[in-house]
Structure 1
Amino acid sequence: MHQTDTLQITPLVKKPFGCSVTLPEYANMDPANLIEDDFQQLFEAVHKYLVVIIPEQEKLSPKSQYLLTKRFDPTLPEPKEESGANYGHGKEFRHAQSVLRKDGCSVKSQPQVQILGQGVFKADEPGNENGEDISLTHPSHTTFHHTPLTEDEIKKEHKTRFYRWHIDSALYDLSPPVVTTLLGIKVPPSTQTQTIDYADGSGDVLELTQGATCFVSGAQAFKNLSEEDKEFALTTTVEYAPHPYIFISPAGATSDGLTMVSEGKELPFDQLPEWEESKVKKLPMVWTNPVTKEHHLQLHGCCLYKLHTKQSDGSVKTLDLEDARKKAHSLMRPSISPDQVLAHSWNQGDLVIFYNRGLWHSVTGEFKGVGQDGGDERRLMHQCNIASNHDPTTIQ
């Protein structure tokens, strides 16, 4: 990569949003080393472009990734301090009943960094920091959607789905992280393509490379709303279920990954792990970007429980689970249309920093194991996000 004396920001071409960044030479290929002026440029780029791609970072250490991620949230202790920073999903990430339970493992030396991917990696392979063999499973819609694609649709027609549109957050007790950093350490060549099946009769088609990570701008999603729906969103609080990833575990997602199919399969509250009412998250549906001052439509359609909307007379109207899901789906669906989705095709060494409080994202793709059909589709990534010390707010 060409070295420069200053941080270079280049908007992505023919994409709905996003930018690439070239680090200054002094940073020595480690963005955690940026001086304050250059970091502020990076901070503003993340908030303005929502997704920032820094190539050729495959040697970035988990420690540096953690320090860089932590630096984006002024409510957290200074990067040199190690106390008070929780991985954004908390301990529930590994709970036996959670829908997240198979999504990787923690780096032992830096537990705020998660190891994600597909396949078995030996103890001495690059990116495996744990000194022991690890087995990773790429999230597949086939284990999460109510009605998944058939084997023929996946293997012969090369179809895939948006796995789950979401915001990285525990959505119980812990506050949503400001940013997520995702590092591609081993990435299969992006020569295979798959096609997103929206499965809703719209005729929408999105072709992308195998395992692309998809992003949608919350700011554009808000702009897409009618004036009536903007007013609804601005006056609505989203109540999430206690331990939401456990609550939804028996249910299945809609075929576009936006929310869950309502069949009454959710775990009753008295069967959830112990929970406290004071830790239940009730967040505004619209969050304000502190840099651009734009409104962003930010909700996790799979994990919501109720919607509470303030009426003009001061009263509050509540939509319970099934109606809340239907309303959320109607607000969110226009913004996952193909022309509004940034589908990032991974190259080895890509470090992606995304503004977790300003967009939604989804895993896509189906991977084979080592040797199947003669190829190696293993993938290894490091992910870091840190629970904030404050909830997002809306400034009207």
Structure 2
Amino acid sequence: MISASTHAGNATPFSKRLESLLSSNMNSRRAESREWRNTYQIFPLAYADAALYDLEPPKVTTLYGIRVPQGPKQVVRYDDGTGDELPVPLGTTAFVSGKTMFEMLPPELKSLAVRARAKYAPRPFAGIKDAKAMSTGLGIATKGLDELDDWDEEKVKTYPFLWKNPITHNLHFMVHPCAVREIFVDPLPANVPKRETHLYPDGAHLTDLDGVRTLLYRMQRPAIAPRLVYPHDWNERDLMIFHNRGLMHSVVGLFREDDLRVFHQCNLAATDQPEGPNEEDRAGIYALMN
């Protein structure tokens, strides 16, 4: 497989590290014993373009297809016991809506999402460079998050689970599951009755990595059901411009050794942090619990 891309802006170092991680995961899953046309695959990693350290997440990403490999469709096998499968074009970019991810949560998880913040590991993509992604792409299957010496606490990022679209005011569930180290949950306001169905009504600081990943998986997995994933069927000279603070995406494909996939990608680190839910947003969600 040959995969190339050209990046612009401050996100370049992150993009190169992520490409390396994606490539190592995809190559490790090549089914050499199968006929290429019958190859099954799994999602390599679901992510938004963001360094999650030092730099703020870009608002927009552009992708331009220069050379697109041609071949039969492949099948993404979720391989998580559900039997879910998704036919995809060769070399697709698959997209998932953060808005849908939030809106389909049950009330108790919505109440948690509007109060939660994710603290990311220092230089997270260096810390997981030797890790393997889960079969659904939602997080790391191995322990991951190696301890690094060269990092600055002031550059470590903590973001709300939900990022607000400044135009529509919709809330998007935008958590990068492979890079989160800790979760902070604010307590419920004093005027909100505490019920058994509320999660962490008094607030919490979750530091157990397995517990953090299990919770995020519970919240994110429903939104990547096959019917909710858009796999773009690339043609050469396609230009895609997408909202990087509202969509998660995944590079998908198992290639033959002589396939060539060349794209230009551009995203620029933003100057502001994503905006989270305000008190009015939270009040509307708390009302669902009554």
TM-score (norm 2): 0.83
| Alignment CA distance shift 1:193-1:182 (3 Å) | same
Q: Secondary structure at the match of 1:283?
A: strand
CA distance in 1, matches of 2:100, 2:269: 25
State yes or no: 1:188 paired with 2:110.
no
Give the C-alpha shift of residue 92 in structure 1. Answer: 4.6
Q: Report if the CA contact (8 A) 2:31-2:39 is conserved.
A: no
User: Does residue 215 of the first structure (1) align with residue 102 of the second (2)?
Assistant: no
Kept after mapping to 1: 8 A contact 2:121/2:145: no
User: Are 1:293 and 2:169 matched, yes or no?
Assistant: yes
Instruction: Map residues 321-336 of structure 1 onto 2, 5 A cutoff.
Output: 321-336=209-224
* 1:192-245 Cα distance to aligned partner (Å, 9 max, x none): 110001001111110011111100010011111001101111100000000000
**Structure 1 pair 359/231, CA: closer, same or farther in 2 (3 Å)?**
same
The 8 Å contact of residues 140 and 163 in structure 1, kept in 2 or not, is answered as: no
Identity of matched residues, %? 35
Deviation beyond 4 Å, 4+ runs, structure 1: none
Residue number among 68, 77, 82 corresponding to 1:197 in the alignment:
77
Q: Distance in 2 between matches of 1:99 and 1:356?
A: 16
**Which structure 2 residues correspond to residues 67-78 of structure 1 after superposition, within 5 A?**
none
Aligned residue in 2 for 1:234? 114
Which residue of the partner structure matches residue 23 of structure 1? none
How far does the alpha carbon of each residue in 1:352-391 deviate from its partner, in whole angstroms, 9 at most, with x for none?
Answer: 1110000100010111233xxxxxx212110000000011
Q: Distance in 1 between matches of 2:215 and 2:156?
A: 21
Relative to structure 1, the CA distance from residue 154 to residue 161 in structure 2 (aligned partners, 3 Å threshold; closer, same or farther) is: farther
User: Partner amino acid for 2:148?
Assistant: F
Aligned position for 2:148: 269
Contact 2:56 2:272 in 1 (8 A): yes
Q: Alpha carbons of 1:310 and 1:102: their partners in 2 closer, same or farther (altered >3 Å)?
A: closer
Aligned ranges 1:309-324 → 2 under 5 Å: 309-312=185-188, 316-320=203-207, 321-324=209-212
| 8 Å Cα contact 1:181-1:354 kept in structure 2 | yes
Residues 140, 365 of structure 1: 8 Å contact kept: no
Which residue of structure 2 aligns with residue 224 of structure 1? 104
* Higher radius of gyration, 1 or 2: 1
Question: Is 1:87 the equivalent of 2:10?
Answer: yes
Unmatched 5+ stretches in structure 2? 1-5, 191-201, 282-290
Q: Distance in 1 between matches of 2:176 and 2:14?
A: 17
Q: CA deviation at 1:253?
A: 1.4
2:275 matches 1:387? no
Offset at residue 101 of structure 1 (A):
4.1
The 8 Å contact of residues 262 and 322 in structure 1, kept in 2 or not, is answered as no
Q: Does 1:361 align with 2:249?
A: yes
- Taking the aligned partners of 2:102 and 2:228, their CA distance within structure 1 comes to 13
Closer/same/farther in 2, CA of residues 324 and 142 from structure 1, 3 Å limit: same
Q: Report the counterpart of residue 347 of structure 1 in structure 2.
A: 235
Partner of 2:158: 282
Q: Which residue of 2 aligns with 1:162?
A: 43
Residue type of the partner of 1:207? P
Instruction: Give runs of aligned pairs for residues 20-35 of structure 1, distance below 5 A.
Output: none
Q: Distance in 2 between matches of 1:250 and 1:140?
A: 9
Letter aligned with residue 319 of structure 1? L
1:331/1:179 CA distance change after superposition, 3 Å: same
Corresponding residue pairs, total: 261
Q: CA deviation at 1:248?
A: 1.3
Q: Could you tell me which residue of structure 1 aligns to residue 135 of structure 2? A: 255
Alignment of 1:134-145 (within 5 A): 139=23, 141-143=25-27
C-alpha distance in 2 between matches for 1:102 and 1:332: 21
3-state secondary structure, aligned to 2:38: coil
Residues 1:305 and 2:181 aligned together: yes
- C-alpha offsets along residues 31-72 of structure 1, whole Å, 9 cap, x if unaligned? xxxxxxxxxxxxxxxxxxxxxxxxxxxxxxx8xx97xxxxxx
Matches within 5 A, 1:4-43: none
Q: Check the 8 A contact 2:145/2:179 in 1, yes or no.
A: no
Secondary structure of 1:296's counterpart equals strand
Shift of 1:160: 1.6
- Deviation for aligned residue 1:161: 1.6
When the two structures are superposed, what TM-score results if normalisation uses the length of structure 1?
0.62
Return the letter of the residue paired with 1:295: L
Letter in 2 for 1:277: E
Q: Which amino acid aligns with 1:333?
A: R
Quick one: distance in 1 between partners of 2:272 and 2:237?
Answer: 32
Matched position secondary structure for 2:241: strand
Report the residue type matching 1:388 in the other structure: A
Aligned counterparts of 2:14 and 2:64: Cα–Cα separation in 1: 23
Unaligned runs of 5+ in 1: 1-61, 67-85, 104-138, 371-376
What is the CA–CA distance in structure 1 between the aligned matches of 2:243 and 2:178, rounded to whole Å?
20
